[in-house]
A and B are shown apart, each in its own frame.
Chain A
Amino acid sequence: MKKRTAKLFSRLLVVIALATAAAACGSDTDSTSAGTDGTNGTGATAAGGATTSSASGSGSSEASAGSEAGGEAPAVEPGTSVAAIKDKGTITIGVKYDVPLFGLKNPTTGDIEGFDIEIGRLITEAIFGDDTKVEFVEAVSKNREPFIQDGKVDLVISTYTINDTRKEVVDFAGPYYVAGQDILVKADDDSIKGVEDLNGKKVCSVTGSTSLTNVQEKAPQADVSVVFDKYSLCVEALNDGRVQAVTTDNIILLGFVADSDGELKLVGNPFTTEPYGIGLKKGDTELRDFVNDVLDQSYADGTWKEAFDETVGVSGEEAPTPPPVDRY
């Protein structure tokens, strides 16, 4: 018995040794890449993972070219919080990784794609004159406010509905899109035609979103106890029959309909308006005005529509008239 235990223990030691070695290798490569980053600017905080950014050389020459070309685009005034981001060398933006069409990390290429990402690139372009000087990090619904408050991100662009509760802790630029909350059901389910039909049904949405509160107001008998931290798990629960409906903004659900091979459908009867804003630190008026200027500019020169058509547009959705920016 003792011998067996000893053998087990030594095997365990080998595993631990291997794991430590692997971990050491990992951090090695991290630090070297941080080193190369560091050559073209200030402390490239290699915040681990998700660095789809830049690093590819010659940043400083680019920046001056950008301000020359900035005849139309809003200029970065020295001494403002926007200039501080510019001095930092990259902008950090919190986005979703699991929302098709808006913010999705492509599992094969590792690229992050979607409308939110393109909006982020427009803002990056306006600040640096180079849309690669951006680092996208994942911000799930429930950690958006802390990320902004702690300065872990400069902006959050993640299907982030502007509302009064949130306005107490963060500020919003935009809106840059107005969605409406809708319901996703199985294709053969004809019992749900609107939000009232959710009474007595089980509905899933994600932790940290306002979707379930909205359902509770309009269908008080709906069972809204099922929440996960990713929409994909809600869709899985719908497929398994654990819930009868998944609810959130129509545009998010549309992506899942597209991926479902006809198994799922959208009810198509939106019951809220969800203005998507760009979250930033409360009281940072300079950054908010700048982002609003960039949005207005993109509405005028067609880059907003272009971004929409390339991302959300592939689902067949027509680009709407962009919503007026709310400079509250």
Chain B
Amino acid sequence: MNVIADNLDSYLGGIAVTLWLSALSFVLAVAIGGMVAAFRVSPLRLLRTLGAVYVEVFFSLPLLVWALLFFFGLPKVGLIYPPFTSAVIVLGTFTGALVGEALRSGINTVPPGQGEAARAVGLRFWQVLGLVVLPQALRTMIGPLGSILLALVRNSAVAAIAMSVDDLMWRSDQLATSTAQPVGVLTGTFVAYLILTVPGTWLVNTLARRYRFTR
């Protein structure tokens, strides 16, 4: 597997871009997901519907289709974002739906009595959510959120295919051409993604265990 050793810096550069892309997208996804979850448990029917529609749309849309639609569709109405920005928005909005559902199910694990008690002492909706429900819900969300983040790292490869962002997948495609040894190169890519995700899985499991509630 000389191809891998000879092109190590190309792989490392790709890993850096993949990590940076995943990190920014996850921040956006958590922001969107937080909003979606708040909408879905909100007392207003309109907001609940909006949240539900957002989730349903992104749950039923393949990521690649969304990426191609965003990247090649928006310029037709005059909006052009650079590839990296586009990738962050595409991955962030898509993952936002997953985060939203994870947060909502986390919120649902908090017994309704907690919310009722909080309201009874006069807290407003956002206070109930932010001070009472979310702190309890967060503990049960570590596992699901971690898996979503790891899925995001893997999904980020779509950015190379649909938007030509020079991440790990993109470097691997380039190397495959210049060396004419796609299988050797892809083996390296496979290992690189493993290096990115396996320690993450381990960390998520440990954290989830440490902060688990024993009810």
Q: Residues of A with Cβ closer than 8 Å to B?
A: 1, 5, 141-143, 145-146, 149, 165-166, 168-169, 204, 207-210, 213, 225-229, 233, 236-237, 240-242
Contacts and interface: CB of A to CB of B under 8 A. Distances in A.
B108 A1 contact: yes
B17 to A, nearest CB: 11
23 contacts: A141-B177, A142-B176, A145-B182, A146-B182, A149-B183, A165-B179, A204-B164, A208-B176, A208-B182, A225-B166, A226-B83, A226-B164, A227-B170, A227-B173, A228-B164, A229-B161, A233-B72, A236-B72, A240-B72, A240-B76, A241-B75, A241-B80, A242-B75
A207 B161 CA distance: 9
A315 B86 CA distance: 37
Interface in B171-210: 173-174, 176-183
A207 B80 CA distance: 23
B177 A207 contact: yes
B188 to A, nearest CB: 15
Given A240-B72, A241-B75, 9 more contacts: A5-B108, A165-B179, A166-B180, A208-B176, A213-B178, A233-B72, A236-B72, A237-B72, A240-B75
Contacts of A210: 177
Given A225-B164, A240-B75, A241-B75, A142 B177 contact: yes
B173 A240 contact: no
Contacts of B161: 228-229
Nearest to A2: B108
B42 to A, nearest CB: 12
A148 B173 CA distance: 18
A168 B182 CA distance: 13
Contact of A142 (B72, B80, B182): B182
B72 to A, nearest CB: 5
Contacts of B41: 1
Which size bracket describes the interface of B in this complex? 20 to 34
Contacts of B76: 240
A146 B72 CA distance: 30
A240 B174 CA distance: 24
A145 B177 CA distance: 10
A169 B72 contact: no
Contacts of A143: 182
B164 A168 contact: no
Contacts of A236: 72
A161 to B, nearest CB: 11
B164 A142 contact: no
Contacts of A225: 164, 166
The 6 closest A-B pairs by CB, nearest first: A240-B75, A207-B173, A165-B180, A208-B177, A226-B164, A166-B180
Contacts of A1: 41, 108
Contacts of B178: 165, 213
Nearest to A164: B180
B132 to A, nearest CB: 17
Given A229-B161, A236-B72, A240-B75, A169 B181 contact: yes
A79 B173 CA distance: 39
Contacts of A146: 182-183
Contact of B174 (A5, A145, A166, A227): A227
Interface in B136-189: 161-162, 164, 166, 170, 173-174, 176-183
A88 to B, nearest CB: 24
Nearest to A228: B164
Contacts of B174: 207, 227
Contacts of B182: 142-143, 145-146, 208
A241 B183 CA distance: 34
B30 to A, nearest CB: 22
Contacts of A204: 164
Contacts of B166: 225
Contacts of A166: 180
A240 B80 contact: yes
Contacts of A233: 72
Nearest to A224: B174
A210 B183 CA distance: 18
B77 to A, nearest CB: 11
A115 B41 CA distance: 60
A142 B162 CA distance: 15
B47 to A, nearest CB: 14
